[in-house]
Amino acid sequence: MKNLTKAFAVIALTTASFASFAATEVGMAPTGAQSIGTVSAATNGNNLSALQGKLAAKAAEQGASSYRIVSAGGDNHLFGTAEIYK
């Protein structure tokens, strides 16, 4: 019985984690989508993937279905901005 309860807990947590990263990156504004604002993020170091991940997480937090990175820059401290769409 304990194993069954643990299995259901794992399934529920796995499903919840996938839902939290629902925003997908797009190359241009999606047709018919409404812009709902922008999000910004910064990272230490020069890992562009980490910056992209932070922007995706912030877009998902705001309820966006997709986002488009409109600016990114920096040397040892990266920063970026993304427009978010619903």
- Residue 77's identity, in one-letter code, is H
Residue 33 has pLDDT above 50, yes or no: yes
Closest to 62 measured CA to CA, from 32, 31, 83: 83
Closest to 48 measured CA to CA, from 27, 76, 28, 22: 76
Average pLDDT over residues 50-61: 95
Determine the pLDDT at residue 79. Answer: 96
Determine the pLDDT at residue 18. Answer: 45
Higher pLDDT, 6 or 31: 31
| Alpha-carbon separation of residue 78 from 4, 40, 81 (angstroms) | 45, 11, 11
* Fold of domain 2-85: Dodecin subunit-like (3.30.1660)
72 with 51: CB under 8 angstroms?
A: yes
Residue 10 has pLDDT above 50, yes or no: no
- Report the predicted TM-score, pTM, of the whole model to 2 decimal places: 0.72
